[in-house]
Amino acid sequence: MATVWHEAELIGQKEEAKGTNRFWFRILEDTPLVYEAGQFLTFDLPTGDKRAQRWRSYSIANNYDGSNIIELCIAYKKNGLASEYFFNTINKGDKVKFKGPEGTFLIPSDIQVPIMMIATGTGIAPFRAMLQKIEKDGMRPSNIHLIFGTRTLKSFLYQEDLEYYNHFIENFKLSVCFSREKKIPKSKISSITYHSGYVHDVYLQDKKINPSKTLFMICGYGSMIDDAVSNLINQLKVPKNLIRIEMFG
Ligand SMILES: Cc1cc2nc3c(=O)[nH]c(=O)nc-3n(C[C@H](O)[C@H](O)[C@H](O)COP(=O)(O)OP(=O)(O)OC[C@H]3O[C@@H](n4cnc5c(N)ncnc54)[C@H](O)[C@@H]3O)c2cc1C
């Protein structure tokens, strides 16, 4: 089947943290483009002649609401082709071509299975969309533990949203790991914890989970995912079918 390409117009952007921006696009279609929380789109950007130079995928960071407005959360990579385009070239009103939605990194159909979400940096994007949906639809998960790795307090993406979901999603726990923060904040809420170090320390030390009955969902860049998958399989003896990953590169 021939690929269907859509068009979207940049309607706004905002710095979320140094080197990471949120971008809002309006999809230029009469009918809303339906997608599932956790899916991604692939853009064909004016950044070269070859497909490898032009095509870049981004997770949709907001839940589908019928408005045809999508949010992306993009980290700038020095000399990256798409990074230069999104951060230094594109202007409000400019149009981009994309295909999708695609992807199977989704909220599981059985929300009663305990879920551990592990993300670093912009890997939070698909989880943000999923949590938005869980909250909006009033889903009642049995247990969701989000472990989010970030360098410092200043680079903590979607802090407000994640702390909000902590109040409005049942059985939702948030652990934030700061790898380069000198002053680790103290949380006043028992279901939010702040740590010094990496995401791996938190799930490896979580005595409350049953690793053979928990769904592990991991999103971010390759090395973090490789380490997490190896730890889960070798140390926690998690069955492979309970590990789902979305790898950014
Ligand atoms: C399913 C999926 C979802 C994704 N979702 C997101 C998301 O939500 N947010 C997000 O920020 N990213 C996401 N990504 C990653 C995104 O697609 C891009 O890979 C990322 O934005 C970098 O693209 P770029 O064109 O800026 O960098 P590239 O041009 O691809 O370069 C990447 C890095 O390699 C370096 N590099 C490039 N060429 C060379 C070379 N010849 N020699 C040495 N170094 C080189 C660059 O300097 C840069 O640091 C996702 C990826 C996938 C597959």
Ligand 1 mutation pick, 43, 59, 158, max ligand atoms within 8 A of CB: 59
Q: What are phi and psi of 57, to 5 degrees?
A: -100, 145
Q: What is the rounded CA–CA span in Å between residue 160 and residue 155?
A: 13
Listed residue (72, 69, 99, 68) closest to 83, CA to CA: 72
Q: Which residue out of 40, 41, 79, 99 has the highest number of ligand 1 atoms within 8 Å of its CB and is therefore the one to mutate?
A: 79
Whole-number pLDDT of residue 1 = 80
- Element (DSSP H or E) covering residue 14: strand 5-17
Q: Which of 37, 93, 78 is nearest to 60 (CA)?
A: 37
Q: At what angle do helices 159-168 and 125-136 cross, to 10 degrees?
A: 30
CA 166 to centroid of ligand 1, rounded, Å = 31
Nearest CA to ligand 1 atom 37: 80
Q: DSSP code of 182?
A: S
- The residue whose CA has the least distance to atom 35 of ligand 1 is 80
SS3 163: helix
Whose C-alpha lies nearest to ligand 1, atom 5?
A: 58
The rounded Å distance from CA 233 to ligand 1 centre is 28
Structure tokens at 197: 């170090």
Q: Which atom in ligand 1 lies closest to the alpha carbon of residue 61?
A: 8
pLDDT for res 21? 98
Give me the domains of the chain, ranges plus CATH numbers.
5-102 (2.40.30.10), 115-247 (3.40.50.80)
pTM of structure: 0.97
> Residues lining ligand 1, judged by CB closer than 6 Å?
40, 56-59, 73-75, 77-83, 122, 125, 246, 248-249
Mutate to test the pocket of ligand 1, among 50, 54, 56 (most ligand atoms within 8 A of CB): 56
| CB neighbours of residue 195 within 10 Å | 18
What letter would DSSP give residue 232? H
Output the pLDDT for position 114: 97
Relative to beta strand 40-44, strand 55-59 is: antiparallel
pLDDT 10s digit of each residue in the chain, 249 long? 899 999 999 999 999 999 999 999 999 999 999 999 999 999 999 999 999 999 999 999 999 999 999 999 999 999 999 999 999 999 999 999 999 999 999 999 999 999 999 999 999 999 999 999 999 999 999 999 999 999 999 999 999 999 999 889 999 999 999 999 999 999 989 899 999 999 999 999 999 899 999 999 999 999 999 999 999 999 999 999 999 999 999
Residue identifier of the C-alpha nearest atom 31 of ligand 1: 80
User: What's 185's DSSP letter?
Assistant: P
